[in-house]
């Protein structure tokens, strides 16, 4: 019977696999922000619950919990302390990942993550505000506005989903069914030449994505 391996031996063994080692290190960087979530959840839950007007009214706590009162003030502070963690999870994870993956100068890495987060947040907020003003000024329909910022960009970068799409010059055998009945079979270019069900579906699909 083999002897149980020590923790150090396990670390050395897993360290031989670079992919596993990288994933393990990445997982460790998430531990700090994740470890904050339980206590932040308790603070937010307790504080928010007992400062909720509906709860106060339901349990007749108006004489004890009221704005300006000491207990109400303490609970409000607890709720704010928990909420600040959840409100800035993106920033906390960014700092944790940057400092955890940095081999040296961890402080510089953490500061870079903070600056990058603020720049990204400010840029996205400004861009959305400018786009909103442009939509309102030009009286652009909401559907057209969505196309401008999502659909058109996805089509241009070829990142839009195309379920069931076959690449050009495909040599796969294709079966075309209509209500469970086999109506056509053949290769991609052959079915296009037949100008039948498959050709019509292919044209409709390309037309929907704005292609010729």
Say what the alpha-carbon torsion angle 10, 15, 19, 25 is, to the nearest 10 degrees.
80
Query: What is residue 30's three-state secondary structure?
Result: coil
pLDDT for 211 equals 47
The CA distance from 115 to 91, in Å, is 10
The CA distance from 189 to 203, in Å, is 13
CA distances from 17 to 4, 13, 21, 100 (A): 21, 8, 6, 19
Cβ neighbourhood burial of 187 (10 Å; 0-12, 13-18, 19+): middle
pLDDT for 206 equals 74
The length of the chain in residues reads 212
Cβ neighbourhood burial of 61 (10 Å; 0-12, 13-18, 19+): middle
Q: What element of type H or E holds 181? A: strand 181-186
CA distances from 173 to 6, 177, 184, 191 (A): 55, 13, 10, 10
Name residue, tokens 């987060």.
117
Report field, pTM of the whole predicted structure over 0.85 = no
What would the two tokens of residue 121 be? 């947040």
pLDDT for 149 equals 75
pLDDT for 212 equals 43
Tens of pLDDT along the chain (212 residues) come to: 445 556 556 555 555 567 777 777 788 888 888 999 999 999 999 999 999 999 999 999 999 999 999 999 999 999 999 999 999 999 999 999 998 888 889 999 999 999 999 999 999 899 888 888 888 888 887 778 777 777 777 777 777 666 555 555 556 678 888 887 888 888 878 888 888 888 888 888 776 544 44
Contact in structure between 173 and 188 (CB atoms under 8 Å): no
């Amino acid at each position: 019977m083999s002897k149980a391996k020590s923790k150090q031996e396990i670390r050395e063994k897993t360290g031989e696999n670079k992919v596993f080692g990288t994933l393990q290190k990445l997982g460790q960087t998430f531990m700090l922000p994740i470890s904050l979530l339980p206590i932040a959840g308790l603070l937010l839950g307790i504080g928010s619950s007992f400062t909720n007007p509906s709860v106060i009214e339901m349990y007749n706590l108006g004489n004890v919990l009221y704005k300006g009162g000491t207990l109400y003030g303490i609970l409000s502070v607890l709720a704010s302390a928990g909420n600040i963690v959840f409100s800035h999870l993106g920033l906390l994870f960014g700092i944790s990942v940057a400092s955890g993956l940095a081999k040296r100068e961890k402080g510089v890495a953490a500061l870079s993550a903070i600056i990058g987060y603020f720049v990204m947040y400010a840029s996205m907020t400004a861009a959305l505000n400018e786009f909103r003003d442009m939509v309102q000024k030009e009286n652009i329909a909401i559907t057209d506005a969505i196309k401008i910022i999502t659909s058109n960009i996805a089509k241009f970068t070829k990142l839009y989903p195309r379920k069931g799409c076959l690449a050009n010059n495909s040599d796969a055998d294709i079966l075309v069914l209509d209500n469970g009945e086999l109506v056509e079979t053949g290769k991609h270019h052959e079915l296009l030449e037949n100008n039948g069900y498959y050709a019509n579906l292919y044209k409709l699909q390309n037309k929907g994505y704005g292609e010729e």
